[in-house]
Every structure is written in structure tokens, then in C-alpha cells.
Structure 1
Amino acid sequence: MEKQEWLLGIDLGGTTVKLAFVNKGGAIVHKWEIPTNLVDNGIHIVSEIASSVKETIGKWPGATLIAAGMGAPGPVDFETGNIYVAVNIGWRDYPLKSRLEGELGIPVVVDNDANVASYGEFWKGSGEGTNDLVCITLGTGVGGGIIANQELVHGVSGAGGELGHITVIPEGGAPCNCGKTGCIETIASATGIVRLSLEEINKKPESMLANRHRDQGMITAKDLFDCVKEQDEAGVAVLDKVAKYLGLTAAHVGNSINPDKIVFGGGVSRAGEALLEPVRGYFRQYAFGRVAESTSLECATLGNDAGVIGAAGLAYKQYGN
């Protein structure tokens, strides 16, 4: 049987761990998930990952894993692979790289989950073929990753690329989970969009958005974009505010490094051009002229696979050659 050399990509979330075998060309061979075991401050997570990997790779007798990459929430010391703190998991100063290498018996690279997803888009997604890429992920929160001259930017303490915590409302902004106020996360995340929608509903109680809220007892980011399609006044007002501050954030980042592309991922980005078109308008308004002309704004293409592909890509970059 022909020998196959694969990479292992791991994307650790608070609910599930996504895993995938990825070939050297960046294609997923097989992917699966296991529950994230948060008992005892996550002490069992690494051993359960290793057990699942060993059981699964056994289905391919001719396959060998040459290296693994893992994305984890929170700031990471990229050199040592230690997690400074992962609040949702329960880790603090946790030696993730060395423990995973001990369990799997292969070299491992560890990075922040948003960085890893960004690298996935850079390697095999919408950023393929670029040298400089910024990813902004719009999910429950807002994350990001910066790739300059084909290298992830980590910063002095692993906090490089924390784009969700760029302040866009210096005074009187909503409180953010990071402890500050006025971060872009409080506006352009799914939870931020819901907060803005509820505020607008109070101003426009006869709007379609308000009717949806009454009918369902709740409102989501998808509801907002559905209402925007129907040109609902409240929906359009909320989207304009989200687009304004997201465009401002993109302009700040664009002016800093002038990347080939700024790519938007995460659940909110599934709105596609309905979101991107107004964001581009504000980006052109706020960005330096040459940046506005040369940096394009696009949607990510890998979806939920970005993390495992990016993790495998980092492993290949470091250990595959």
C-alpha cells in the first residue's frame, strides 16, 4: 500500500474540538469533531484529542502523520506553544505544545485560533497567492489575524491581531468582554448587532425588525439582514452603523499595513455583499487614498474549515519541508 503523509489540523472551541487530516496540498482528507471536555479546567482535553486521533488514523494503515497544528482561544506564546490564558477552557500558563507532542509523538505548532483561521484563508482560501492579508472574523465576538510578508504577526506577548478590540467609540461606547468600552466587537459581532437592533427597535416600534422581535421573542443578525433586503428603515439604520464602524476599523488596519486584501469571515460575513458593499463605502471614505485604491475587501471562503486547514498549514510551514 502506498504510504501517505498527512498533517493534523486541530481547532479548539469551547463546545467542540474540530479535527482534520489534511494532505500537503491543503485538501481535507477526513474531518470529525469531539466534544470539548471542560471538566477540571480542561485537563483531559489533550489526552482525549490524542485518543481520538490515534483511533481515527488507524482506519488508514498506510497513512502517517508528520506534524500537527492547533488553534486555541486566547493569547499564545508562539515560540513555546504555551497558552497564556484561555478563559473559556480554564487554562492559564498551560504548556499545550509540549503536552500535545508528548501524547501524539509528532511535532506540534500552536497558535491563537483567530490567527490559525486567518492562515487557513491565506494558505488555501480567499487570500491564496497574496503576501499581505488581514482577516477579521465576525462571530459571537470579533477576532482577527494579520499576515505580513507571508508571516503571522504575533507581537511581543501574543496579542498581535486582536482587531476586535480596536476602539471605534472613544467615549460612551458599550462595555466589551475585554474590560474596555467602545471596541468594534461591541458593534460588528453577532451579539453587537443584536444589541444595536434592540436599541433601534425601541426608536422604531412599527418597523419590520420590531415585528420580527415581537413574533419570535428574539432577534438575530440574520433577521437584520433579512429586514435590510426588504428595505426596512430600522434594519437599514442598524446596518449603516455596523458598516460605518467596520469600515473605519478596516481603514485603520489598512492604513497600518496596506495589505493585498482584508477578508471578513465568521457567521456574520455570510450576509456577503449586503454587508461588504456598505463597508467598502466607508472604507473608501476613511482610508488613505492609495490604500483605498489598492486593498480589496472580500469575504472569506473556507467557512468552518479555516481553522483546521490553517492549523495544518502552519504545521506544514514549520515541519513539512
Structure 2
Amino acid sequence: MNIGVDLGGTKIKAGVELNGSVIKQETILLKQKDSLSSTLQQLIDLIKPLMSYSVSSIGIGVPSVVDIEKGIVYDVANIPSWKKVDLKDILQEEFNVPVFVNNDVNCFALGECRFGVAKEYRSVVGVTTGTGLGSGIVIDNELYTGANCGAGEIGLLPYLDKNFEYYASNNFFEAVHGITALEANMAAAAGDTHAIGLWEKFGIHLGATLKAVMYVYDPEAIVLGGSLAKAYQFFEEGMYQELKDFSFPQSLKSVKILQSTDENIALLGAAALIPQELKNYALKD
């Protein structure tokens, strides 16, 4: 059994993973985010009751750039006190088990490939769209993070006059059209034609993003997650319309574009961060 932690800017989820399922889970709202000591203590207090299980390791996904080897996180999104945190050392000292730290979207992609809707595939890109736009890459069933945990930042690639993230995240609704994605979703669900049109345009921008993903990584499957992915029914048509002119028609026919269905998939992916060599060692024991 391993503990997976999904750390966000507003809440933290932690759970015990056993055979791809969460058998015990704890969730808290994050308070006093300007205090490093307070936020770290909240994280520790969340994990403590889960340690009563026979836990082999702790994996944690964080919305930031991560020094994966040292387990240091930098400039964590929406937690201003987390500028540089030696998270691995702190948690290992506290709980005396191996700790593995990675980017939260990487954990999402790994979770989908190991336990989720993409578990039939070995080459997967997970794309999350919400406040921002992120992606994680799994190649041959193993997470690929790049030399500096920066692989997969498709959202920062230039697109139109800005970048993909500007047009394929909540920013498209708020900054461009003065409405939140939640408001647009509710309006579209009520039959508002203007809101439905906004989602179609959003789908076009997301489709352009997915074309970039396919050109760069040529995955077997792409999994869509994040809060905006819940409005799939409203942007699906625009997304596929944009994909029609992809240069390699056979690749377009074979790639599977899937929707994430498990709210705990990033948590499960974090629990799966334990390296293969440690898994083999545990099996020998």
C-alpha cells in the first residue's frame, strides 16, 4: 500500500492506494497559505492518520516545477509561502518512509495510464484544462518528465497572439469574454446560444492544442481532465472540427481522445510514483 497526495492551491487530498483503488481518504481545505510552517503542518496532520496502514511509500503531486531527485518544489501555484520547499526531506523525516514528489499534472497522466481510462495504452498524454492548461506524458507506460520536470508544457507554446493556455483554459472565458467557465457552462446547459457558441470556440482552441500534442508526442491516447473538461458535451464538436485538418489522417483515426472519470486519479498517480526498482525490492522482501 502507498499513500498518494494531491496538493492543490485550495485543498489537499490524501489517500491510501491498494491495487489501484483508494481504500481510505482524507481531505482538508488549505488555510493560512502565507505561512510555510502552518501549511506544512496541515499536510503532515492530513497524512498522519493514514500511516496506521502498512504503507510502503508516500507520493505527492504538486502544482509546480519539481526537482524530482531531491524532492524540492519551487514557486507552488496559489500557495505564496512555498517558494522553495524541501518537501521530500521534510516528509521522510516525519514519517520514515520513502517519499516521491512530482508535478500534479504528471501524476494525473500517470494515474490515468496505470489505473484510469487509458490503462489499455502505453503511450498517453494527459491534458488538464482549468485555471491553467497542463499536460503530462507517459511513454512506454513510464512517466516522462524531461531533464527539469518541464516536459509537457504545451500550454506555454505560442498560439495566435498569446499561447495555448490563454485560449484553452478558464482564461478564455474570463479574460477574453468576461465570464467564468462555470457561468458559461450553466448558461449553455440552460440553452443559452451565446454560451454554447463560446464553448464551440473554446473547443476549436483546445483542438489546436491537441494537434500540437499529437505532432510532438504522437500518443495512443489523450485524456482530458480538469474542471473545464466537464463541459465536454459543449466543446466536443468544435474540438473535432479543428482536428479535421490534422496532417496525418491515419494518426487522427487511431488516437483515442478520452475523458477522465475518476476524481481521485491524480492522487492514485501520486501513489504510483514509487520507482520500479523499489517495487522489485519490496517484492523480494
Q: TM-score, normalised by structure 1?
A: 0.79
Aligned to 1:157: 148
1:9 offset after TM fit, Å?
A: 0.6
Alignment partner of 1:142 is 2:133: yes
User: What amino acid maps onto 1:138 in structure 2?
Assistant: T
Give distance in 2, aligned partners of 1:19 and 1:276.
32
Q: Which runs of 5+ in 2 are unaligned?
A: 281-285
Per-residue deviation, residues 147-198 of structure 1 (Å, max 9, x unmatched): 11222221222211122222221x3xxxxxxxxxx12222222232233433
SS in 2 for 1:285: coil
Instruction: Return closer, same or farther for 1:93/1:195 CA change in 2, 3 Å cut-off.
Output: closer
1:35 offset after TM fit, Å?
A: 3.3
SS in 1 for 2:55: strand
Give distance in 1, aligned partners of 2:39 and 2:247.
43
SS in 1 for 2:273: helix
RMSD after superposition = 2.2
Alignment partner of 1:81 is 2:71: yes
Instruction: Return closer, same or farther for 1:117/1:145 CA change in 2, 3 Å cut-off.
Output: same
Contact 2:9 2:77 in 1 (8 A): no
1:115 offset after TM fit, Å?
A: 0.9
1:190 alignment partner, one of 156, 170, 173: 170
Aligned to 1:71: 61
Give distance in 1, aligned partners of 2:231 and 2:196.
14
1:251 alignment partner, one of 202, 207, 211: 211
Aligned to 1:8: 3
Query: What percentage of aligned pairs have identical amino acids?
Result: 27
Question: Which stretch of structure 1 is more off in the superposition, 120-129 or 33-42?
Answer: 33-42
Instruction: Return closer, same or farther for 1:235/1:52 CA change in 2, 3 Å cut-off.
Output: closer
Give distance in 2, aligned partners of 1:307 and 1:318.
22
1:95 offset after TM fit, Å?
A: 1.5
Aligned to 2:283: none
2:259 alignment partner, one of 299, 308, 314: 299
Q: Which runs of 5+ in 1 are unaligned?
A: 1-5, 172-181, 199-218
Aligned to 1:214: none
Q: Which aligned segments of 4 or more residues in structure 1 are displaced greater than 4 angstroms?
A: 37-41, 226-233
Instruction: Return closer, same or farther for 1:56/1:227 CA change in 2, 3 Å cut-off.
Output: closer
Aligned to 2:40: 46
1:75 offset after TM fit, Å?
A: 0.6
1:302 offset after TM fit, Å?
A: 1.3
Alignment partner of 1:235 is 2:226: no
Per-residue deviation, residues 54-98 of structure 1 (Å, max 9, x unmatched): 33444xxxx311111000111111222111332532223321111
Question: Which stretch of structure 1 is more off in the superposition, 68-77 or 292-301?
Answer: 292-301
Give distance in 1, aligned partners of 2:25 and 2:277.
22
Instruction: Return closer, same or farther for 1:220/1:318 CA change in 2, 3 Å cut-off.
Output: farther
Alignment partner of 1:133 is 2:124: yes
Instruction: Return closer, same or farther for 1:34/1:229 CA change in 2, 3 Å cut-off.
Output: closer
Question: Which stretch of structure 1 is more off in the superposition, 145-154 or 262-271?
Answer: 145-154
Give distance in 2, aligned partners of 1:318 and 1:70.
19
Give distance in 1, aligned partners of 2:118 and 2:247.
21
Q: Which structure has the greater CA radius of gyration?
A: 1
